[in-house]
Structure 1
Amino acid sequence: MHEREIYRSTLKKVMIIVFLSGLLLYSLSIGIGSIFERTADGAAIPAGSTIANIDVGGLEYSEAQQLIQAEVSSWKEKPEIIVDTKHEEEEVRIDRKLFTFKIKDTLEQLHREIEQPWYKFFVRHSAVTLPLHVELNPAFEQLEDIWPKTIDIEKTLLAATEQVKHLNEPIVAAAYIESSQLEMVTIAEASVVINASNSLALPKLVHQLDQFELDEGQAFSLVHALGDSTEFGISADELDRLATAVYTAVLGTNFEIIERHSQGQIPAYAQAGLEATVVINEKDLVFQNSSPFSYTLQFSIEDSQLKVAVIGPEQETTYSYDTKNVQELQPRTIYRYDKNLAANRERVADYGSNGYRVDVYRVTYNNHGKKLNETRMARDYYPPSPRIVMLSTEQSIPQAEDDSFENIDRNDDKDSYYDQNGGRDNYDDEETNPPTKGTNRGGNGDQTGETKKKQDKGSSAGNGEEDDTEEENWDWLKDLDGPIKGH
């Protein structure tokens, strides 16, 4: 009896083992079959799967490879990728051939994502989304000779690659190298003559301004930087010389000139259009650092020269200035009576001086010295000083060809004076305002006469093109009270 129970128990265990073994073998056959099905080269990719935004769901791997290759070829045929820089004159492009697409590696990754262990044979395959595998062609190192040295090539290309992996049209912003990692050079400099032996205030101001740090986007106000300069006892002439040196140096940069005023007369130490004036609490010289880097303004006095230099990282574009459309204006003749002159005698009391109109341009060049563009920064007007002729009281006024000279006052007052071009001078316009003494230096050398300080409101000229209408129409002279605006 006992043996029989043992037999039944053993048989029962054997039957259970056989059943479980069969079930296990069946499961293994199903799982292994599923694995082979998923790993075969022609296996279908789960529905909804995408690679670089390309729908490859339901395709075999060979079909997916052909589809992706066609999309990549179409993407490569498009124009070069334009890099967004902080300077319009910096033209930076990326050749699409610099990107190598690893389609096979991408499909292998897709296969690994889809693959499941045998014991999950009952789990349904889910959709997979992947970017393309992309590598940079070693030829990208040649960009060091093409791109501006201030741009971090590797970081910029890596940012572009992240978008290329999805076959997007990249919107790439240039990555710039930190200023501290760049070599500092003199970007622009200017100087004016000063009488250093007679000035104690100007050296103090120069020392105060020296090594002024101008950060990215920061504006510089000369009046604000000077502070309470009155405590130094600086003269108006010294301030004008300082403003002229700063303005001329800034013209050789890409800084945006926000406010600048002309002296209205050409000083002996500067050229027409290349001068400036500041008056505390009235007129200022303001410009802004529109570069992505910091700069240092250096001020010094050497050998009776006030020098201003802009120090910063070397750039691929350089700037200079040029004066154009210079027009020489002849002085008018004014006649006055002098009772002390003998009859029918005359003498020249003042020979007068010529006036000038001039346009000032900023010129941009690339690293090969090729001119890229030019922008008008200012248009300056320097009124001529009239020629004054004294006549005896017995002498008649010379008649102009186109004037009748009515209502001539023939008295002995030497303050009564007449204009050869139109009778008594009432100075109704900017060319006939009563002048003050000054120096007007033009194309024929230095001439001293009576000039009046004026200021001009300038304007920019887009892409360096001349405006023929403005050249012929000088209506802008009717409003000369505002500061010159630069770009």
Structure 2
Amino acid sequence: MRNQQLIKIFLILILSTAYIFSFSQFGALAYNNIFGKDDVYGPSTLVGNVDLSGLTPEDAALLFEESTDKWKKETNIQLAYKEKVYQVDPSAFIFHADETMNSIINKQKNAASVTLSEDKLTEMILDTSLSLSSAEVDKDNLLADMIAQAATLDPSESVFHLENYISGSQSKALDLSSAEVVLGSEEKEIKNFVKSISSLDISAKSQFSLLDSIGKGQKFSSPAASKVATAIYGAILPTNFSIIERHISRELPEYSKIGFEAYLNPDKHMDFVFFNGNDVNYKLIISIEKGVLKVTLNGQPFLNKYAINLKDQKEFKQRTIKQYDPKLPIGMTETARVGKAGMIVKVYRDTRDEAGELLKSTLVSEDFYAPVHRIEKYSLTVPAASEQDSDSIDEILGSDDSEQTEEADSDTSLPDVAEQPENQMQEEQGSEETESDAETSSHTSPAPDSSDNQASDSTEK
């Protein structure tokens, strides 16, 4: 009996404890769900990318203000129109802390309450480009997109392209610039190329390679490909396209002006590459008329104006190289190579804004062509004898005649038998000395005196 009473008391205590514990836990939760919010925000409660989980409304409000101040310091919002970029001042966005805190839904992602005045937006559009009017830009959609980006409190870079908020802006394609090259001897080959490829597309934000556009399967000689590359280079030079790879010839070809040549060699993988940094596509239209290759750049007009300026152009004179050719007749000359003067020039691209003010002048290239020297061939000539040499020769010849006459007279008389051996010995010694002297002089004396040596030898003999 006593054990049963103890069990009843124990069960009553257990039930009472469970009731009190359950009421303290679930009663408070039920009360908050029915009559109001909790003292802190639940998990996954966000305002933009700011997490408010576990914070009281007061602490959440302080964190929100700190986050908005940080966003204004770190964010980068831009308005872009063609090649012009306008930096938006983040202080133009006004955040409303009270409205944001009152509209928070617990355990959900919420947007911050922020506004941007329409007058401020109009000023931003006009500062971006003078050619834009607030009437042609869809300001309502632009304003909504900019506010939505600010409401996320994401400090990353945001670029709003105004072309996307102008109706019909994508259809205004015009012929912007063109260049021409005379076909010459490559006319047939280039005509076949134009039949297969009459236009080339230049994609937005991408590189353009002429060799890749031509294709690996198509055979194209270097002279013909260079003429096409030169025409394309001349068409895209007065734009904001960046030149990545370009080559020139050793000698300036006749079909190009200095500073405007582009050499292409498919066999040596010498390419012509440039980069289109704009947000729109462009097209190169290739045509042939009356033996002239014409390349036209077609697309949306640029906001700025681009002009090519050649500076520091210098010329290096050619030299003349003389060569002697034994095959040429005496007194004849011929020109083996005409030669050409060398040149150097710096190519600059001047960028001017809509008002015509010079923004910058960028060095595009510095082209140098070495001089080609002139080569002239001459025949081999015999040097003419001077008057002094001719007089000395006559004297020597005259002395030879007199000596020969005296020798002839002496031969008529009888020789002295006793003196004959001694005279022969003297003559032999004299002849040996004369021969040794002649050999030495032939090694030491200059060429013009060789006639005197020969005359002296003949005299001794």
TM-score band, normalised by shorter chain: 0.5 to 0.7
* Residue 315 (structure 2) pairs with residue 335 (structure 1): no
Rg comparison, structure with higher value: 2
| Aligned-residue offset at 1:317 | 4.1
Q: Structure 1 residues 280, 97: CA separation in 2 closer, same or farther (over 3 Å shift)?
A: closer
Structure 1 unaligned blocks of 5 or more: 1-30, 39-43, 114-125, 396-409, 411-487
Q: Structure 1 residues 99, 335: CA separation in 2 closer, same or farther (over 3 Å shift)?
A: same
Q: Structure 1 residues 325, 175: CA separation in 2 closer, same or farther (over 3 Å shift)?
A: same
Q: Structure 1 residues 274, 169: CA separation in 2 closer, same or farther (over 3 Å shift)?
A: same
| Aligned-residue offset at 1:174 | 4.2
CA distance in 2, matches of 1:156, 1:287: 36
**Which one has a larger percent helix, Structure 1 or Structure 2?**
2
Aligned to 1:81: 76
Structure 2 unaligned blocks of 5 or more: 1-30, 384-446, 448-461
2:232 to 223, 226, 246: 246
| Aligned-residue offset at 1:91 | 3.0
Aligned to 2:103: 109
| Aligned-residue offset at 1:249 | 1.6
With normalisation by structure 2, the TM-score equals: 0.56
- Partner-residue secondary structure (3-state), 1:206: helix
Kept in 1, the 8 Å contact 2:340–2:373? The answer is: yes
Aligned to 1:208: 196
* Deviating more after overlay: 346-355 vs 200-209: 346-355
- Spell out, residue by residue over 1:56-97, the C-alpha distance to the aligned partner (whole angstroms, 9 max, x if none): 95567xx987x589659856974883439799x643311224
Residues 62-73 of structure 1 mapped to structure 2, 5 A cutoff? none
CA distance in 1, matches of 2:212, 2:66: 61
Residues 466-485 of structure 1 mapped to structure 2, 5 A cutoff? none
CA distance in 2, matches of 1:187, 1:153: 29
With normalisation by structure 1, the TM-score equals: 0.53
Q: Structure 1 residues 364, 167: CA separation in 2 closer, same or farther (over 3 Å shift)?
A: same
CA distance in 2, matches of 1:200, 1:382: 29
Aligned residue identity for 1:83: Q
Higher relative contact order (CA 8 A, sep 6+): 1
Residues 78-477 of structure 1 mapped to structure 2, 5 A cutoff? 78=73, 81-83=76-78, 90-110=84-104, 113=105, 130-139=110-119, 140-147=121-128, 160-175=146-161, 177=163, 181-194=170-183, 199-216=187-204, 217=206, 219-222=208-211, 225=214, 237-282=223-268, 284-291=270-277, 292-337=279-324, 340=329, 352-388=339-375, 393=381
- Spell out, residue by residue over 1:233-292, the C-alpha distance to the aligned partner (whole angstroms, 9 max, x if none): x88654433221112223233445444332222223321121123345335543255333
CA distance in 1, matches of 2:265, 2:377: 37
Report the number of matched residues: 335
Kept in 1, the 8 Å contact 2:74–2:155? The answer is: no
CA distance in 2, matches of 1:288, 1:153: 35
Q: Structure 1 residues 301, 145: CA separation in 2 closer, same or farther (over 3 Å shift)?
A: farther
CA distance in 2, matches of 1:135, 1:100: 5
CA distance in 2, matches of 1:180, 1:289: 23
Counting aligned pairs with the same residue, the percent is: 24
CA distance in 2, matches of 1:268, 1:210: 25
- Partner-residue secondary structure (3-state), 1:264: coil
- Partner-residue secondary structure (3-state), 1:272: coil
| Aligned-residue offset at 1:133 | 0.9
Aligned residue identity for 1:138: E
Q: Structure 1 residues 333, 276: CA separation in 2 closer, same or farther (over 3 Å shift)?
A: same
Aligned residue identity for 1:106: T
- The alignment's C-alpha RMSD in Å is 4.9
| Aligned-residue offset at 1:160 | 4.8
| Aligned-residue offset at 1:164 | 2.4
- Partner-residue secondary structure (3-state), 1:91: strand
Aligned residue identity for 2:85: E
CA distance in 2, matches of 1:224, 1:165: 45
Kept in 1, the 8 Å contact 2:233–2:261? The answer is: yes
| Aligned-residue offset at 1:352 | 3.7
Kept in 2, the 8 Å contact 1:207–1:300? The answer is: no
